[in-house]
Amino acid sequence: MIRSLRTLLLLVLAVLFLSSSADAADKLRLLIIDGQNNHNWRVMTPPMKAKLESTGRFVVEVATTPGGKGAKEDWDKFRPDFSKFDVVLSNYNGQSWPEPVNKGLEKFVSGGGGLVIIHAANNSFGGWKEYNKMIALGWRNNKYGDRLTVDDSGKPVITPAGKGPGAGHGRQHAFEIVVRDSEHPVMKGMPKKWMHARDELYHGQRGPAKLHLLATAWSDKKTGGTGAHEPMIWFVPYGKGRVFTTVMGHVTPTDSIRCVGFQTVMCRGSEWAATGKVSIPIPDDFPTDKVKLAP
């Protein structure tokens, strides 16, 4: 009798173990990189990690770089193994990474890995040529490269280097996001227009500007903007990989990373960057004409 119970218990444990292993195998491995930023990365990373994990689609790890005064030996130890992951999410804006890390990320993305750029992460690495190809538009001065906006009809407008504004933003405020590609897997099913929580509305981004635009926002001159429809969400193919960028996500008194719209874009964008597909649903409380903040 005891032997039979023991055998039954072992079988139950084996089934539970196999079920757990299968569940983990179905999840995407995501790496968040933080450690330096002109924004409060210590406040940003934990809720972003928690939200990604809450979808049931990701297993999330965090790699934190040395601080701005990190010793050389600390940087020599910073060697994330990108090959262990399906997608990398950057919450980093700081000093240059060691060359082996740069080369490792280039190899990872060009080989088919996903990269997600959140807000000020597109400010980084002005001198890293391949990174600028990956992000297409970054926080650069107006001499750095082209600027992309769209006109009132949605037609792309290129402003060449040396003309028009460089990167900046007006005062923080809530603003409307306009979806420009409703058929893309990340955006499919979203309202054509929806309100994003108080945030920095980036304008005048510069770079190669070779991208697929997914959403814009009107940069109103009344709030210190440019009077143009500025890119908010886009992607860039890089080799066999996909780079997904949203410049939303500043931490403000109203905490824009709690915006249900931003969270949905981050999670669905991360899944798409990793797989080219999206299974994470758009939540019932997704914003329309009013801001919706997660608890």
Domain membership of residue 258 (yes or no) is yes
Residue 5 CA, distance from chain mean position: 50
142, 173, 144, 146: which is closest to 160 by C-alpha? 146
Domain membership of residue 224 (yes or no) is yes
Domain membership of residue 2 (yes or no) is no
CA dist 182 and 185 (Å) reads 8
pLDDT at 215: 98
Confidence class for position 71, pLDDT limits 50, 70, 90: confident
CA dist 27 and 88 (Å) reads 14
Asked whether 255 and 249 are in contact (CB, 8 A), the reply is no
Confidence class for position 18, pLDDT limits 50, 70, 90: very low
Domain boundaries, position 131? 29-275
Number of structural domains (the chain) is: 1
Domain membership of residue 123 (yes or no) is yes
pLDDT at 122: 96
CA dist 175 and 263 (Å) reads 16
Domain membership of residue 294 (yes or no) is no
pLDDT exceeds cutoff 90 at 254: no
Instruction: Write the CATH number for 94.
Output: 3.40.50.880
Domain membership of residue 51 (yes or no) is yes
pLDDT exceeds cutoff 60 at 203: yes
Domain membership of residue 292 (yes or no) is no
CA dist 242 and 174 (Å) reads 29
Convert the pLDDT of each residue in 146-201 to its tens digit: 999 999 999 999 999 999 999 999 999 999 999 999 999 999 999 999 999 999 99
